Amino acid sequence: MTSEQKERTPLNEALKKLTVALCEQGFAAGTETVSVTESAGRITAVPVRAALNVPHYDASAMDGITTRAELVRSASDSHPVTLSADQYTVVDTGDPVTEKHDTVVMKEYTLPGDGGTIQVTRAVPQGKNIRPTGEDIKAGEELLEAYVRITPAAVGAMIAGGVNEVSVLKRPVIGFIPTGDEIIPPGRAPAPGEITDFNSSVFAAMLREWQADVRLYPITPDKKDLLQTALAKALDECDFVLLGAGSSTGRDDYTVEIIAQTGTVLAHGLAVKPGRPTIVGYKDAKPLIGIPGYPVAGVIILREVVKPVIDLWYHGWAEPRCYCDVALAEGIKSKPHLEEFARVHFAEEDADPPLAVPHQRGSGSISEYMRSDGILRIPVGCDGYAAGDVVTIELLD
């Protein structure tokens, strides 16, 4: 039986099994407390409430004087009212309005008088030009819900509201173990048959963009005991473990054996293109995923399998994905039993709808992926699209 003929699990089925299994195992992000001043970009773990009113006192909204409205009720340009020194206080914007006063007269409507007096040339009602206590934020008010990203402005609102520390979800620590006798680290020229490991750097950069911390492990040769030792160490140190599952036929069989001996395999071989030799499993509450070795297959599986689990970790919070309708400049065929993730690039981005060309290159070409502008998801049951068809693509970067 060839790999092509083996039963392949649909992507959504594999993801559902993994989600259910992880939730049963108590999969959940830990929380930690960080200083609000350093919290931008983190995801809240609980709702955040203001500790203080903002403003935290009745504040003058203008430069001028505070006084009592009843004292200046009759003031006008032609009949200024003179206030004695104990009837007013000179204030700048932001200064407190004390309890004995109830209004602010703008500087423009005052004239200095004799002996510490001041003349007021305009009547002002009670409360005028005052930012009352709590106008912006009330003490106890919910500033942020749980499981939202802390924006720069939210940092400001928390500090203003007297919140100094905030409980946030820990970033998941994701380990990646590159495997393969033929793989060498970057930095020296590869001999024929040797492949420089670039998947580690690509995957690390993607995972960091998704708010994960990454541990890259050394390249592990295809030896069972070494792989088992590496996997045990990674499971000890990380929240998720990704293991290179190889790219040649049968190499993923080798990886699946290691994963099955350590944890539980939920799916081996997905009905996706590229990305067949994927292994979806877990150990306790930790996802344990075999990632195909072909770089584009690896990237697609990170996006379609690992990213949704990161979103689960973050209780559904995720950067929005961007979509765009395009007309296809060329047709593309797809096998109806597979879900295909075809790369496309814009031929005429300014056309309406924009014109996009699907790529014909294989999953080994990282430069092809680098030059693509979007991904066209061709669902199971669809045998492709014709030139001119209008389809929705997900935009990349």
Which residues between 127 and 166 bind a copy of itself (CB under 8 A)? 131, 135-137, 143, 149, 151-157, 159-162, 164
Judged by CB under 8 A, does residue 278 bind a copy of itself? no
Among 318, 239, 251, 238, which Cα is nearest to 278's? 251
Residue closer to a copy of itself, measured from CB, 287 or 298: 298
**CA distance linking residue 94 with residue 64, whole number of Å:** 11
Please identify which residue in 6, 107, 223, 333 interacts with a copy of itself, judged by CB under 8 A.
107
Judged by CB under 8 A, does residue 119 bind a copy of itself? no
Backbone angles phi, psi at 256, to 5 degrees: -65, -30
Residue closer to a copy of itself, measured from CB, 58 or 339: 58
Residue closer to a copy of itself, measured from CB, 123 or 396: 396
Judged by CB under 8 A, does residue 189 bind a copy of itself? yes
Give residue 275's region: left, alpha or beta (phi > 0; psi -120 to 50).
left
Site for a copy of itself in 35-74 (CB under 8 A): 36-37, 40-41, 52, 54, 56-57, 61-63
Site for a copy of itself in 205-264 (CB under 8 A): 205-206, 208-209, 247-251
**CA distance linking residue 393 with residue 50, whole number of Å:** 42
CA 323, 329, 330, 331 dihedral sign is positive
Residue closer to a copy of itself, measured from CB, 40 or 347: 40
Judged by CB under 8 A, does residue 33 bind a copy of itself? no
β-strands 173-177, 89-91: how paired? unpaired
Judged by CB under 8 A, does residue 311 bind a copy of itself? no
Residues in contact with a copy of itself, counted by CB under 8 A, come to a total of 76
Nearest approach, Cβ of residue 153 and a copy of itself (Å) = 4
Alpha-helical segments (H) within the chain? 11-24, 152-160, 199-209, 224-237, 251-262, 295-301, 307-313, 366-370
**CA distance linking residue 275 with residue 260, whole number of Å:** 19
Nearest approach, Cβ of residue 378 and a copy of itself (Å) = 21
Site for a copy of itself in 334-373 (CB under 8 A): 361-362, 364-370
Contact 50, 299 (CB under 8 A): no
Backbone angles phi, psi at 122, to 5 degrees: -150, 140
Residue closer to a copy of itself, measured from CB, 235 or 393: 393
Judged by CB under 8 A, does residue 392 bind a copy of itself? no
